[in-house]
Amino acid sequence: MFVALRDLKHARGRFILMSMVIVLITVLVTFLASLTAGLARESTSAVTDLPADHLAFSMPTPGDPPEFIASRVDADQWEGWADVDGVVSADPLGVATTRAETPGATVSVTALGVAAGSHVAPVREDGTPGDVDPGTIVLTRAAADALDAHVGDAVTLGGTRLTVAATLDTDQSFSHTPVVWMTLDDWQSIGARGAARAPGAAVSATVVALTTSGTADLAGADAALGTTTLTTSDARSAVSSFTAENLSLTTMQAFLLVISALVAGAFFTVWTISRSGDLAVLKALGATTRYLLRDALGQAAVLLGGGVTIGALLSAAAAAALSGVVPIAVTPTTSLVPAVSLILLGLTGAGVAIARIARIDPHAALAAR
């Protein structure tokens, strides 16, 4: 990179300008990736944080894609799942978004209903799942903050007063609403999924949370019990807002990545054309095409590496500053994957642009300039 590094220093105005473009694109892409992850977490963490590996849905119309909003499982189904070989636990879980009220606030929450002794009951401070007593409610931190509720306070859900039994240090949310926990009976009594259950009527839930040993015949059990089983990760797509939201944001990221490749390609096309005279001289002096391509690609790598690193750091700093205001999650995946993609796509764009070096005729060095 004898010439490339000196070109970077000599034509610093042009390269700084290009670096700024790369920095800005990187900030956009990595911030968007962090925002996508943050929104995804806000939309689905109640599902992905469950101590279960699969969820069994039962849709009103067999064959429909699973959705939390429409799924309804009954006792025969979760008891059937509990008897399947390889299934360690099968717990009914009610999921429904509703309105919660305290004297000082009214907020939307997602009520999760669990049966007594459930393996997916909220994890308490000591790290173990704790039952929720009838007539009480357990609040996640965000729900407690939003409702300004503390242990012993009353919270009204669907006209039913429940007493706050505990608040959790953890945050789970579903479809951008904070989670509250209650018994499956109370969950059904508040009419979170339509009309309140009549006394004595059969209990139902939304899904069956499964913990499996890996040997369970899930497809066979689905066929026998009329359910559709997904991993907890795949079950995110059953949250109605998640798929569209995630697709929109991921599409924006993809467009930005393509734009970054085109911008890098356009810059290095113009740059290569502007220095074609120098390249002809270098060839006439004995530089091989491979040497010149390596030199130019190295220059692009320095430019992209520097710009992307600065952009990713700026984005992480901005995300840290805004973490309390917007749902944002900065992880190695949200920073490194877009950064590496930007560098690779940028190098691809630059590579296509500098390929024209191979066509430069050293004979041109003899022409007067």
**Residues lying near another protein in the complex (CB under 8 A):** 2-3, 6-7, 9-11, 277-278, 281-288, 291, 362-363, 365-369
Identify any residues that bridge with 174 across adjacent strands, giving them in sequence order. Answer: 177
For tokens 């390929």, name the residue. Answer: 355
Please name which of 187, 167, 78, 182 lies closest in space to residue 133, comparing C-alpha atoms.
182
Minimum distance from residue 355 beta carbon to another protein (Å) = 16
Backbone angles phi, psi at 100, to 5 degrees: -120, 140
Residue 77's closest CA among 174, 202, 238? 202
Work out the number of other CB atoms within 10 angstroms of the CB of residue 91.
25
Please state the closest distance from residue 358 (CB atom) to another protein, in A: 10
The residue type of 163 is T
Q: Which is nearer to another protein, 11 or 262 (CB)?
A: 11
Q: How far is the CB of 295 from another protein (least distance, A)?
A: 9
Residue matched to tokens 């042009």: 14
Residue from 134, 171, 194, 200 nearest 44 by CA: 171
Q: Give me the least distance between CB of 347 and another protein, in Å please.
A: 22
Which C-beta is closer to another protein: that of 150 or that of 290? 290
Residue closer to another protein by CB (options 152, 286) is 286
Residues 297 and 208: their CA atoms lie apart, in Å, by 54
> Can you tell me which residue has the tokens 């049966």?
115
The CB-of-7 to another protein minimum distance in angstroms stands at: 5
**Smallest distance, Å, CB 27 to another protein?**
29
Residue 364 beta carbon to another protein: minimum distance, rounded to whole angstroms: 9
Closer of 194 and 286 to another protein (Cβ): 286
330 vs 33, 234, 291, CA distance in Å? 8, 22, 39
CA distance 51 to 111: 17
**Inter-residue contact 300 to 271 (CB < 8 Å):** no
Q: Which is nearer to another protein, 150 or 363 (CB)?
A: 363
- CB of 274 or CB of 333, closer to another protein: 274
- Between 10 and 150, whose beta carbon lies closer to another protein? 10
Residue 182: is it exposed, middle or buried by C-beta count within 10 angstroms (0-12/13-18/19+)?
Answer: buried
